[in-house]
Amino acid sequence: DVCGLGFNQKGSLKIHGRTHTEEKPFMCYICGLGFTKKCDFKIHRSTHTGKKP
């Protein structure tokens, strides 16, 4: 445990852990930006398409 935060769900711990490892599994194929969370990627993608996420 790097920062001491605790999580009730294993998935939440995994997502938070990416902030410490800089892992960004969701990559924008248009501009190359990477995101740790899928929801943030979807919001970003709308900047290219003009569609709401």
Rounded mean pLDDT of the chain?
90
How many domains does the chain divide into?
1
Please report, as a single letter, which amino acid is at residue 6: G
What does the buried/exposed string (b/e) look like for 6-38 if buried means 16 or more CB atoms within 10 Å of the residue's CB? eeeeeeeeebebeeeeeeeebeeeeeeeebbee
For residue 30, what are the domain limits?
A: 24-53
Residue 5 domain-assigned (yes or no): no
Q: Would residue 1 count as lying in a domain?
A: no
Q: Within a domain: residue 52?
A: yes
pLDDT beyond 90 at 17: no
Domain contains 31: yes
Looking up tokens 């003009």 gives: 50
Query: Would 39 be classed as within a structural domain?
Result: yes
Whole-model pTM over 0.75 = no
Is residue 40 a part of any domain in this protein?
yes
